[in-house]
């Protein structure tokens, strides 16, 4: 029976667990993401308690994913203090001495959902997280989508809603999807989640912007389904409202009835475990690649 290590490396916290699927995954160990030495050291220490076949890492980015690039497996230009140019893959690989697979956190979540969650049976779908930031991963033809860098769906262009003069809080673009619809961007306008009325207004505005982003994604990637997770997406009615907004914005073109059916925009099937499940998929791939 194989055993895999799963690492979800996040901007504020890192989760690590072992198992073969979400159903037999160990209780995730939560490690604060502080400096690379301490955080990755704790990850390796945890993993080395087990006899593992391989390890998968779903990491925050930007991360170099081109296998033949000199910087493969390195977190590159992150503004997170101390983490720029961190060789995540090499550090963990040298620590555990088994094959290690790596992808972005959101691609990882998409892969996990594809194996065990809301993407089962689909070849082309998207996973979006709407929380502290906005990010998206895509599975296209059964594989996670990377190229020059990796998709940064949170930074697609959006048009300010009528009456919304918020300047946006993306450090690069001001007004972009993340700049207008992330949790902090909503808090700037509406404060912390409070009264039901305010929360419904915040949710509706977020849904409006997310739907703008999804419209671009629908027209460029033609996904069979879009899975939305992250803190903002847990506001009551968020998925239904986003679906209604998207249906409205697509305006019936192209005429695909699937766009209008419930089940096109859905929450993650694995709840909080999408990322770790994706790391298991990456570990499985790493083990297969190593054997072949």
Please report, as ranges, the residues that interact with Zn ion according to CB under 5 A: 155, 170, 172-173, 176
**Closer residue to Zn ion, CB minimum distance, 15 or 176:** 176
* Residue 100 Cα to chain centre, angstroms: 19
**Closer residue to Zn ion, CB minimum distance, 55 or 211:** 211
Contacts for 123 with CB less than 8 Å, ≥ 6 apart: 139, 140, 141, 142, 224
* Dihedral, 151, 144, 105, 61 alpha carbons, nearest 10: -40
For residue 257 the two structure tokens come to: 């009835």
**Closer residue to Zn ion, CB minimum distance, 42 or 76:** 76
Neighbouring CB atoms inside 10 A of 258's CB total 9
> Is residue 77 classed exposed, middle or buried when 0-12, 13-18 and 19+ CB atoms within 10 A define those classes?
exposed
**Closer residue to Zn ion, CB minimum distance, 106 or 118:** 106
* Residue 68 and residue 23 in contact, taking contact as beta carbons nearer than 8 Å: no
The alpha carbon dihedral of 158, 226, 133, 147 has a sign of negative
Smallest distance from the beta carbon of 172 to Zn ion, in angstroms? 5
**Closer residue to Zn ion, CB minimum distance, 29 or 173:** 173
Smallest distance from the beta carbon of 258 to Zn ion, in angstroms? 29
* Residue 211 and residue 242 in contact, taking contact as beta carbons nearer than 8 Å: yes
Smallest distance from the beta carbon of 255 to Zn ion, in angstroms? 32
Smallest distance from the beta carbon of 70 to Zn ion, in angstroms? 27
**Closer residue to Zn ion, CB minimum distance, 176 or 211:** 176
Start-end of H helices in the chain: 36-47, 88-96, 105-116, 177-181, 183-190, 196-221, 238-250, 274-291
CA within 13 Å, CB half, 137: 29
**Closer residue to Zn ion, CB minimum distance, 28 or 213:** 213
Smallest distance from the beta carbon of 48 to Zn ion, in angstroms? 39
Smallest distance from the beta carbon of 179 to Zn ion, in angstroms? 5
Contacts for 266 with CB less than 8 Å, ≥ 6 apart: 118, 225, 226, 227, 228, 239
Smallest distance from the beta carbon of 171 to Zn ion, in angstroms? 8
């Amino acid at each position: 029976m194989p055993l895999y290590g799963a690492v979800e490396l996040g901007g504020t916290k890192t989760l690590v667990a072992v198992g073969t699927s979400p159903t037999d995954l160990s209780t995730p160990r939560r490690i604060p993401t502080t400096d690379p030495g301490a955080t990755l050291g704790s990850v390796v220490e945890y993993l080395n308690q087990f006899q593992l076949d391989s390890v998968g890492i779903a990491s925050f980015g930007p991360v170099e994913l081109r296998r033949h690039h000199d910087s493969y497996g390195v977190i590159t230009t992150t503004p997170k203090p101390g983490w720029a140019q961190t060789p995540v893959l090499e550090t963990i690989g040298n620590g555990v001495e088994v094959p290690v697979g790596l992808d972005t956190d959101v691609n990882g979540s998409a892969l996990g959902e594809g194996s065990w969650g809301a993407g089962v049976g689909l070849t082309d779908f998207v996973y979006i997280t709407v929380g502290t930031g906005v990010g998206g991963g895509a599975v296209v033809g059964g594989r996670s989508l990377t190229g020059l860098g990796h998709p940064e769906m949170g930074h697609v262009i959006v048009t300010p809603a009528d009456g919304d003069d918020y300047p946006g809080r993306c450090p690069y673009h001001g007004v972009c999807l993340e700049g207008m619809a992330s949790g902090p961007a909503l808090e700037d306008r509406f404060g912390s989640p409070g009264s039901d009325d305010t929360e419904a207004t915040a949710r509706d505005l977020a849904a409006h912007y997310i739907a703008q982003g999804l419209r671009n994604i629908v027209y460029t990637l033609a996904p069979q389904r879009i899975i939305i997770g992250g803190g903002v997406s847990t506001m009551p009615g968020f998925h239904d409202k986003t679906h209604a907004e998207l249906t409205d914005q697509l305006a019936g073109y192209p005429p695909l009835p699937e766009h209008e059916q419930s089940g096109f925009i859905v929450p993650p099937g694995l709840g909080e475990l999408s990322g770790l499940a994706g790391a298991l998929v990456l570990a499985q791939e790493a083990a297969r690649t190593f054997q072949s």
